[in-house]
Amino acid sequence: MEKIRKIATEEAFSIPEVAEALKQVVRGPTSSLDRLLVSQIYDSKPGASGYGMLNFLERLLDVEDHRLREMNELGVDMHLLSLTAPGVQMFDADTATDLAALANDRLADICRRHPTRFAGLASFAPQSPRRAAKEMQRAIRSLKLNGFILNSHTNGEYLDDPKYWPILEAAEALDACLYIHPRAASDGLKGPLQDYGMDTAMWGFGIETGTHCVRMMTSGLFDRFPKLKICIGHMGEAIPFWLWRLNYMNTRSQKMGRSPRTQLTMAEYFQRNFFITTSGVEDHLALDYAIRKLGVDHVLWAIDYPYQPSKPAVDFMDTAPLSEPDRAKLYHLNAERLFHIAPL
């Protein structure tokens, strides 16, 4: 089999300043469900249990040493880096704006030093939407980054709220994809998710991000921003499997006056405006369904480093029952097109 370029498209990193600021936030009086996970990663003690024992922080801060060695060992050509969840979205607006700009500067420097190994998604502070839009413009036009990362809700609010539309206007005008990454559920969703480890990747993350995306579609937002590109991970946060029912029930809701009238159906919005990655879902049946439902041009490969191990993700795609042209699309061609990554 001819070697195919491998671009992994949901790969986390951080910088010391953000890590320290998150440690201080979780030591404070926050009620955010993110506190449980963030405290274990950023404020764990020696011998800690839970996520603290997995040494995620060391891997997040190290981009050019262990990460590159592992990429080389497994034949992974490029990571599309993004500031790890919850990014800057737990901070006040001024702190978040400053840290997002600093993280983007550091990310752009990494990409300049390793132009064939790393590309980057810029962070921004949705707490201040107009300043966020200015940073988005700087990130694409000056720093030459490849798109944007948003960690779902901000203070329990979602992108269907018109206050955040300057962010969507900027992303659409820049032809830059917005990757909506999970974080812990907002206060309005968190109640039943706090037990049995359900609050994080097992269930809560997908529920949170899926809810965000369904709100965007049902609100009619994509009639105003028809060229907006959204990417979500984890094989589409279960939305592809719900599309028929979303269509049916939303049509009923529109007739009853409970949902806004929209120009397209929910499935049409999802198949036009959304792209999904395989991050953290290594299931060939799920992959086959997603490709059949959305089309092969809307599915991209990802690892979810360092939260998922890299080798199984590579083995999963290498052994997927795909034609070689389709495997090339998932491994790199779709990423090159969607995130404006230069082909080799």
Q: Which of 161, 304, 318, 326 is catalytic?
A: 304
Is 195 annotated as catalytic?
no
Residue of 295, 179, 293, 161 whose CA lies nearest to 228 = 179
Q: What are φ and ψ of residue 298, in 5° steps? A: -110, 15
The packing angle between helices 266-273 and 284-294, to 10°, is 100
Q: Are 173 and 167 in contact (CB under 8 A)?
A: no
**Crossing angle of helices 129-141 and 165-173, rounded to 10°:** 20
- Residue 326 · residue 80 · CB < 8 Å: no
- Is the bond into 306 cis (omega within 30 degrees of 0)? yes
Cβ atoms of residues 332 and 274 within 8 Å: no
Return the active site residues: 304
